[in-house]
Structure 1
Amino acid sequence: MLGKYTYLFIIGAPGLIFNLFFWSRWKKLLRPRLKAIVATIGITTAYWAVLDNIAVHPLGIWGFKPEHVTGVQLLGLPIEEWVLFVMSGGFIVPLVIIFVAKYRGVATD
């Protein structure tokens, strides 16, 4: 399909669309919490990267097909995997903030 950009496109495109939607729709709610959001995404990304490195390298539970990744690596993992971690956190963390605010009756507009 997209050759070595397949995995990057499958992860990056939806993640970017969802994140743009969340941040445009709930900017007033999310912006004051930006530091906490970035910190949370950073911590979860580091955690997932450690577990993924263990699963891929010493355990060999899974791997990445070279024809579907760009070949760019960061700390032993394809850049596409890092995009997955950041994008996942990027839409999970804001969603939690939005749902908690709605549950508590905080204005989310």
Structure 2
Amino acid sequence: MDVKNFTYLLLLLGLLVIPPAFGFKNQLRFFARLKYLLPSIVFSGAIFVLWDLRFTELGIWSFNPEYVTGVYIRNLPLEEWLSFLVIPYLCVFIYEYLNEKLARFEKPNFFLAVSLVLLVIFVLLAWFARQKLYTFFTFFLLSIYFGYTIFRNRFKQHLTKFYLTWLISLVPVLLVNGILTALPVVEYNEIHLLGIRFFSIPVENFFYHFLLLIMNITIYEYLKKQRFF
């Protein structure tokens, strides 16, 4: 096994280095809330893994064996499974960190308006790109879940920190994604994409990440508020 076979795994481990850099006090508070994060990771992870498995079977994307360890569960590399644990963990940490550091910065009405505009855009993209499977399913599922989140109206108070988290998390997550798509570790069938890339990253990946993040944070906040355990 060559060193480059650990590329994907090392990139994920690099993301795990970020939370400890933000201080031990914040870590303790966050660790106490992991019991609310784990169910959200399991729920969202199940959806994304099924999606991942099916798209891999259809050849919409594939994984370059030169950059993974060769450990597979079903048809997915171990690293891909781990990504649905590592990325939500990192992003929810950023979210909680912002809640602490920017507690007074709240613009719920502004971000609700932004959300409504985005929802219309997501619906239109799903409709007009319905022949492109990756684009369609990304924006179709996003429209359903995001629409439910907006109109249920219980998440409005958290929208400010959600959007800030999404924007900030794009830096480390998409740095990793940029490496994954540039080498490439993950290869895409262009027939199923809009064909718009930010450097080497398909534009769909930004909103795939958006959906993963909104799922995890909404479930996390619901469980934290209800305090089932």
Q: CA deviation at 1:90?
A: 1.0
Instruction: Give the secondary structure class of the aligned counterpart of 2:18.
Output: helix
Query: How many pairs align?
Result: 103
Instruction: Confirm whether residue 68 of structure 1 aligns to residue 67 of structure 2.
Output: yes
**2: CA distance between counterparts of 1:63 and 1:70?**
15
Higher Cα Rg: structure 1 or 2?
A: 2
Contact 1:45 1:89 in 2 (8 A): no
Q: CA deviation at 1:98?
A: 2.6
Q: Percent identity?
A: 29
Aligned to 1:5: 6
Instruction: Give the secondary structure class of the aligned counterpart of 2:33.
Output: helix
Map 1:25-104 → 2, pairs under 5 A: 25-57=25-57, 59-104=58-103
Deviations 1:21-58 (A, max 9, x none): 3573512421331200222222222222111111111x
In structure 2, stretches of 5+ residues that fail to align are 105-229
One-letter amino acid of the counterpart of residue 3, structure 1:
K
One-letter amino acid of the counterpart of residue 68, structure 1:
Y
One-letter amino acid of the counterpart of residue 4, structure 2:
G
**2: CA distance between counterparts of 1:54 and 1:20?**
35
Deviations 1:47-99 (A, max 9, x none): 22111111111x21110111111111123210011122111011112222232
After TM superposition, the score normalised by the length of structure 1 is 0.76
Going from structure 1 to structure 2, the CA distance change for 1:31 and 1:7 (only over 3 Å counts) comes to: closer
**2: CA distance between counterparts of 1:85 and 1:23?**
24
One-letter amino acid of the counterpart of residue 82, structure 1:
W
Name the stretch that deviates more: 82-91 or 94-103: 94-103
Going from structure 1 to structure 2, the CA distance change for 1:32 and 1:8 (only over 3 Å counts) comes to: closer
One-letter amino acid of the counterpart of residue 98, structure 2:
F
In structure 1, stretches of 5+ residues that fail to align are none
After TM superposition, the score normalised by the length of structure 2 is 0.40
**2: CA distance between counterparts of 1:92 and 1:55?**
25
**2: CA distance between counterparts of 1:29 and 1:23?**
11
Name the stretch that deviates more: 60-69 or 43-52: 43-52
